[in-house]
Structure 1
């Protein structure tokens, strides 16, 4: 079965954001057409699961990916990175043949 994982730092950040918003600690990652490289990642807190969702859990935080997006994300890890340029969620996607400078879109 295909999979996508959530790093401990990403799980901690999702838990913090969810607690502030009084929402469940569930992050949805999906892939949409667009962006400067062809596909773009979309992140959002989720309150409910769909029938075709794949769910993985790290430190009590759920990462949710729909079956269509999973084909483009298989083997990926979602990380939360903080540096001088700012802080953001990043996807380490082994299927991405190339990406854009901002790291939010990719091509296969």
Structure 2
């Protein structure tokens, strides 16, 4: 069985759905990668109004995670999760391609 290009965990899907409902937007989370951050690249999350034609799309419980083709090269095989801990709650990317990360969890290098 082929591993999906990207995966949205059920907890992340539930959180995106709740945020989107509050803001009256579609339940579409866009993950992109930008240069910068403490380790070379950083993850950027935002609600999207629609998916683009060339987006890679994963769907969990009716919520879509979309990634553009350029960013997909850097997050292939990743799982986007939503975790709550004593330090707060946040979306977290479990990226098997990341060689190093940083303490903040939003930056990585390949």
TM-score range, shorter chain: over 0.9
Number of residue pairs matched?
108
**Aligned match for 1:26, one of 25, 28, 35:** 28
Summarize deviations over 1:35-94 as a string: whole Å, max 9, x none. 010000000000022221111100000000000000100110000000100000000000
Q: Tell me the residue number matched to 1:83.
A: 85
Q: Tell me the residue number matched to 2:42.
A: 40
Question: TM-score, normalised on structure 1?
Answer: 0.97
In structure 1, runs of 5+ residues without a counterpart are: none
Question: TM-score, normalised on structure 2?
Answer: 0.95
Matched, 1:98 2:100: yes
Q: Aligned ranges for residues 48-87 of structure 1 at < 5 Å?
A: 48-87=50-89
SS for the counterpart of 1:27 is: strand
Whether the aligned pair in 1 keeps the contact of 2:7 and 2:78 (CA below 8 Å) is yes
CA RMSD in angstroms comes to: 1.1
SS for the counterpart of 1:55 is: strand
4+ runs of 1 displaced by more than 2 Å?
A: none
- Distance in 1, matches of 2:21 and 2:15, equals 10
In structure 2, runs of 5+ residues without a counterpart are: none
- Distance in 2, matches of 1:21 and 1:5, equals 23
